[in-house]
């Protein structure tokens, strides 16, 4: 079905409320544009230095997204590099955007977890609103997938398990991320240690102001759950379960379940069709792992895994089985195997002797 046919589907009526974050060029992959914006970014960096009383020496732009710019800076007090995320002053002109940005800093600062990028603090003065984050050298999962295409099952599990654990922790604190995608998973340059980042559109279950944004559809269309596309208010942990399922699918299949030339078509398709079963695209995926991912991607939230903790437990079982199958047998196991084979070989002879 072409995109023009999808435009007539009822789900398309929800799309004007989506914040259409570009999914083909995620923030972590954007370079500094060679336009007059470079001068604006330089002035913004100078403003950051003034706001922090010179504590942070801004060196360069790391990334630029739809609402913010991320600078690499040196923390002169702590003697360490940091990432400073600054709300674009044009976006910060609205109280709603400033509040959302500050809420992201509050949420991130309260989510202490080894696989979540730590937030060291935030500040606001005049037109500048910023957040100080740990600097993670390396690349995003989006960049890795753009370069490698697909990952092995073991490599995918090495990312899925820590991120599932991080999201289970997030959910236990009453937070829904709502923008889980490869661009928001960072891989450390030293050991590919994965970090979950960017809580810019996260919601607090206990905050009415935060929950009201669910219906506005903030997020990235390529990784939205059907209920986000439709602007439903009851998005919960299963929304992140769906998104992590899409991340897993992308890692193992090399692409998303749907293909479209437009964000609208990409978003609407998931409300109409079920994904192609993963093993049809990659037969090397163990059936147990494929079943976990397929259930994550159920269109009806009631048919998905209820919690991220359950997803993590299932993934641990898959990893344990893979490790067991790959491990060489111990000397005792080899001896028992030989004895069992010998017993099978002698069984017919013993049976004939008993009949005499």
Question: Catalytic amino acids?
Answer: 179
- Other Cβ atoms less than 10 A from the Cβ of 342: the count is 10
Report which secondary-structure segment, H or E, holds 73: strand 68-75
- Strand, helix or coil for residue 215: helix
| Cα 294 to Cα 316: distance, rounded to the nearest angstrom | 17
- Strand, helix or coil for residue 114: coil
- Other Cβ atoms less than 10 A from the Cβ of 123: the count is 18
Check if the beta carbon of residue 238 is closer than 8 Å to that of residue 297. no
Report which secondary-structure segment, H or E, holds 120: strand 119-125
- Strand, helix or coil for residue 269: helix
Residue for token digits 């800093």? 105
121: phi then psi, degrees, rounded to nearest 5: 155, 180
């Amino acid at each position: 079905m072409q995109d023009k046919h999808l435009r007539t589907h009822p789900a398309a009526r929800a799309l004007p409320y989506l914040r259409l974050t570009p999914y083909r060029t995620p923030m972590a992959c954007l370079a500094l544009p060679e336009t007059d914006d470079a001068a604006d970014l330089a002035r913004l960096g100078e403003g950051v230095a003034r706001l922090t009383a010179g504590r942070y020496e801004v060196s360069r732009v790391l990334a630029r997204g739809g609402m913010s710019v991320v600078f690499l800076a040196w923390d002169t007090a702590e003697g360490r590099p940091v990432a400073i995320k600054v709300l674009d002053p044009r976006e910060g002109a609205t109280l709603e955007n400033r509040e959302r940005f500050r809420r992201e800093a509050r949420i991130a600062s309260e989510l202490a977890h080894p696989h979540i990028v730590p937030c060291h603090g935030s500040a606001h003065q005049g037109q500048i609103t910023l957040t100080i984050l740990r600097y993670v050298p390396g690349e995003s999962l989006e960049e890795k997938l753009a370069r490698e295409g697909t990952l092995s099952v073991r490599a995918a599990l090495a990312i899925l398990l820590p991120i599932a654990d991080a999201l289970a922790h997030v959910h236990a604190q009453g937070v829904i991320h709502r923008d889980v995608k490869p661009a928001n998973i960072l891989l450390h340059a030293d050991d590919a240690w994965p970090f979950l980042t960017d809580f810019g559109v996260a919601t607090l279950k206990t905050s009415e102001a935060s929950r009201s944004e669910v219906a506005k559809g903030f997020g990235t269309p390529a990784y939205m759950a059907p209920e986000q596309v439709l602007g439903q208010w009851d998005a919960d942990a299963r929304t992140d379960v769906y998104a992590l399922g899409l991340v897993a699918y992308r890692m193992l299949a090399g692409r998303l379940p749907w293909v479209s030339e437009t964000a609208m078509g990409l978003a609407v398709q998931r409300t109409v069709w079920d994904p192609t079963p993963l093993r049809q695209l990659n037969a090397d995926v163990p059936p147990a792992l494929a079943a976990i991912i397929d259930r994550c991607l159920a269109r009806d939230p009631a048919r998905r895994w209820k919690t991220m903790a359950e997803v993590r437990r299932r993934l641990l079982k898959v990893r344990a089985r893979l490790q067991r199958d790959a491990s060489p047998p111990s000397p005792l196991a080899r001896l028992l195997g030989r004895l069992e084979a010998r017993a099978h070989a002698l069984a017919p002879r013993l049976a004939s002797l008993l009949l005499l």
